Amino acid sequence: MINKKDKKLLELVNKELTRQQDGFEMIASENYVSENVLRVMGSILTNKYSEGYPGKRYYGGNEYIDEIENLAKDYAKKLFGVTHVNVQPYSGSPANQAVYFALCKPGDKVMGMNLLYGGHLTHGWKVNFSGKYYQSIQYTTDENGFLDYNAIEEMVKKEKPKLIFVGATAYSRIINFEKLAEIAHDSNAFLVADIAHIAGLVAGGVHPSPVGHADVITTTTHKTLRGPRGAMIMCSGDESNPTQKIDSVIGWRESKQNIPTLIDRAVFPGLQGGPHNHITAGITQALFEADTEEFKEYAKQIVKNASVLSQELSNNGLRIITGGTDNHLILIDVGPFNITGSQAEKSLEKALITVNKNAIPFDTRSPFDPSGIRIGTPALTTRGMKVCEMTQIAQLIVRVLKNYNDEKILESVKSEVKKICKKFPIYKKIKY
């Protein structure tokens, strides 16, 4: 409960609560955590400082914090089938930074998916640390938006990167981790799978897992995993010994057995101080919830909803990149409706449908006003919406995009969105 004397803060939080309750949250990287996750995130655990790792802290009074962190690690190991987990990274970008710090030296050659073709900033984009402090080579998709594994293989053989990042923020198809591992390891490169977007789908068994193929796996804990805004780094091998004397990465073969140690030392003391214990507890709760039959059904429904939504949008004249989706995400070219991605985002937001503008492969427009939008089904599915609602939502999206300058139509769609949302409430017990 927020102190009602702070009227401005109370007003703003309540406005955001209303926004989330009344509209369609369709940004593919967003979701709703459970009320139990909210509770532990808002708990007294935020009061404790815990530099170090369980059993090796630099502060006293961490007996129960140690147990919570170990519980989170145990849940993650079981859920994903790995032998080592670090749950301390503050978010996805710091987690990826820790991997570079652990396995590379400044100036080493690295490879990742180009941001404008669906990749992430931390996979080597030029304005990010990963593109500034490392020699970054970027791969793209083919003309239809699919990963071209043959082209990637040729690039790896030619460039000989030390580390290859795979995973994406705007790629709607199954990623062949086994093939990418073959490509990387044939050239003595580390393969790092960033599954931030698809972690919940992997946990739910509706997307292949990189475990057994990638040397390191990073993920955020929100998005499809439906946890707080945190991150994890996972790998397999001997449990880490952060006090072990390893000065630097010697080479691919020599260092593979030391990956757990290198990762832990990169996170702390390499890049971070004390972990956020309230977030660790939220991650623990989310992992507990993800290891259930209910969550597996939820993951299946996310994919089913996305498939139906994609088909309905395509049937109504929009161009879907790759022609469809295998996961939670749909990348749409709005050009056929003579509208830009920015115009689409703004007009849909007026109708209480939240999406984000996004570049499409081989986009001829500026990244600040691209040709596409990116949408997803995790949050809608969390609310309980299914195939029937996806058909309705597709019709509403098309109606807005075809009439993006007509305020009366936008208001009409807004009213319909509110009506649907009332049937699928979130946080019934939460009031500020």
Catalytic residue list: 49, 51, 194, 220, 223, 229
Pairing of strands 329-333, 319-320: antiparallel
Q: Residue 112: CB partners within 8 Å, gap ≥ 6?
A: 119, 120, 122, 123, 124, 125, 130, 136, 138, 139, 164, 165, 166
Cα separation, 58 vs 385, in Å, equals: 47
Name the E strands within 16-162.
24-25, 52-53, 56-57, 84-86, 109-113, 135-139
Instruction: Write down how long the chain is.
Output: 432
Burial class (CB in 10 A: 0-12, 13-18, 19+), 253: exposed
Cα separation, 371 vs 363, in Å, equals: 7
Angle between helices 293-315 and 387-402 (to 10 degrees): 40
Cα separation, 273 vs 112, in Å, equals: 28
Comparing CA positions, the residue from 141, 123, 190, 122 lying closest to residue 161 is: 190
Pairing of strands 231-235, 216-220: antiparallel
Comparing CA positions, the residue from 342, 309, 348 lying closest to residue 325 is: 309
> What is the per-residue DSSP string for 200-232?
HHHHTTSS---TTT-SEEEEESSGGG---S-EE
Cα separation, 227 vs 241, in Å, equals: 28
